[in-house]
Amino acid sequence: MDPYKHRPSSSHSSPFFTTNSGAPVWNNNSSLTVGSRGPILLEDYHLLEKLAQFDRERIPERVVHARGVSAKGFFEVTHDISHLTCADFLRAPGVQTPVIVRFSTVVHERASPETLRDPRGFAVKFYTREGNFDLVGNNMPVFFIRDGIKFPDMVHAFKPNPKSNIQENWRILDFFSHLPESLHMFTFLFDDVGVPQDYRHMEGFGVHAYTLINKSGKAHYVKFHWKPTCGVKCLLEDDCVAVGGANHSHATKDLYDSIAAGSYPEWKLFIQTMDPEHEDRFDFDPLDVTKTWPEDIFPLQPVGRMVLNKNIDNFFTESEQLAFCPAIVVPGIHYSDDKLLQTRIFSYADTQRHRLGPNYLMLPVNAPKCAHHNNHHDGFMNFIHRDEEVNYFPSRFDTVRHAERFPIPPRICTGIREKCVIEKENNFKQPGERYRSFDPERQERFICRWVTALSDPRATHEIRNIWINYWSQCDKSLGEKLASRLNIKPSL
Ligand X SMILES: *[C@@H]1O[C@H](CO)[C@@H](O)[C@H](O)[C@H]1NC(C)=O
Annotation: binding site for heme: 348
Cβ 422 to ligand HEM, closest distance in Å? Answer: 15
Site string for ligand HEM, 98-137 (x = CB under 6 A): ----x-x----------------x-x------------xx
Cβ–Cβ < 8 Å for 45, 19: yes
Choose among ligand HEM, ligand X, none what residue 216 binds, the Cβ cut-off being 5 to 8 Å by kind: ligand X
Cβ 58 to ligand X, closest distance in Å? Answer: 23
- 70 sits in which H/E element: strand 68-77
Q: Does 312 bind ligand HEM (CB under 6 A)?
A: no
Cβ–Cβ < 8 Å for 132, 360: no
Cβ 214 to ligand X, closest distance in Å? Answer: 4
Residue 347 or 469: the one with the smaller Cβ distance to ligand HEM is 347
Residue 171, burial from CB neighbour count under 10 angstroms (0-12, 13-18, 19+):
buried
Please name the residues in contact with 259: beta carbons below 8 A apart, sequence gap of 6 or more: 71, 265, 308, 309, 310, 311
Residue 83 or 442: the one with the smaller Cβ distance to ligand X is 83
Cβ 458 to ligand X, closest distance in Å? Answer: 34
From 65, 108, 208, 220, active-site residue:
65
Burial pattern 248-274, b for ≥16 Cβ within 10 A else e, equals bebbbebbeebbeeeeebbbbbbbbbb
CA distance linking residue 219 with residue 227, whole number of Å: 25
Residue 17 or 316: the one with the smaller Cβ distance to ligand X is 17
CA distance linking residue 24 with residue 41, whole number of Å: 19
Near ligand HEM by CB under 6 A, which window of 216-224, 342-350, 418-426, 434-442?
Answer: 342-350
Choose among ligand HEM, ligand X, none what residue 343 binds, the Cβ cut-off being 5 to 8 Å by kind: ligand HEM
Cβ 39 to ligand X, closest distance in Å? Answer: 20
What does the radius of gyration of the chain's CA atoms come to, in whole angstroms? Answer: 26
CA distance linking residue 3 with residue 367, whole number of Å: 10
What three-state secondary structure class fits 204?
A: strand
Choose among ligand X, ligand HEM, none what residue 83 binds, the Cβ cut-off being 5 to 8 Å by kind: ligand X
CA distance linking residue 427 with residue 433, whole number of Å: 12
Q: Does 207 bind ligand HEM (CB under 6 A)?
A: yes
Q: Does 148 bind ligand HEM (CB under 6 A)?
A: yes
- Asked about 138 being catalytic, the answer comes back as yes
CA neighbor of 77 nearest in space, from 305, 299, 330: 305
Choose among ligand X, ligand HEM, none what residue 69 binds, the Cβ cut-off being 5 to 8 Å by kind: none
Residue 335 or 471: the one with the smaller Cβ distance to ligand HEM is 335
CA distance linking residue 52 with residue 57, whole number of Å: 9
From 132, 138, 359, 427, active-site residue:
138
CA distance linking residue 323 with residue 349, whole number of Å: 8
- Select the residue interacting with ligand HEM from 89, 133, 143, 467 (CB under 6 A): 143
Q: Does 352 bind ligand HEM (CB under 6 A)?
A: yes
Q: Does 353 bind ligand HEM (CB under 6 A)?
A: no
Q: Does 336 bind ligand HEM (CB under 6 A)?
A: no
Residue 200 or 344: the one with the smaller Cβ distance to ligand HEM is 344
Q: Does 65 bind ligand HEM (CB under 6 A)?
A: yes
- 173 sits in which H/E element: helix 169-176
Residue 253 or 377: the one with the smaller Cβ distance to ligand X is 253
Near ligand HEM by CB under 6 A, which window of 31-39, 316-324, 398-406, 435-443?
Answer: 316-324
- Asked about 161 being catalytic, the answer comes back as no
CA dihedral 216, 217, 222, 227 (to 10 degrees): 40
Cβ 199 to ligand X, closest distance in Å? Answer: 11
- CA 423 from centroid of its chain's CA atoms: 28
Show the CA angle centred on residue 60, arms to residues 56 and 66, nearest 5°.
135
Q: How far is CA 306 from CA 28, 73, 140, 206, 287, in A?
A: 47, 7, 19, 15, 26
Cβ 14 to ligand X, closest distance in Å? Answer: 10
Q: Does 267 bind ligand HEM (CB under 6 A)?
A: no
Residue 334 or 344: the one with the smaller Cβ distance to ligand HEM is 344
Torsional sign, CA 160, 166, 172, 174: negative
φ, ψ at 319 (rounded to 5°): -130, -55
Annotation: binding site: 348
What three-state secondary structure class fits 210?
A: strand
Name the site residues for ligand X (rule: CB under 6 A).
16-17, 25, 27-29, 83, 214-216, 218, 246-247, 250, 253-254
CA neighbor of 196 nearest in space, from 265, 149, 291: 265
Choose among ligand HEM, ligand X, none what residue 218 binds, the Cβ cut-off being 5 to 8 Å by kind: ligand X
Cβ 216 to ligand X, closest distance in Å? Answer: 4
Residues annotated as catalytic (active site), given as ranges: 65, 138
Sites of contact with ligand HEM (CB under 6 A):
62-65, 68, 102, 104, 121, 123, 136-138, 143, 148, 151, 207, 322-324, 340, 343-344, 347-348, 351-352, 355
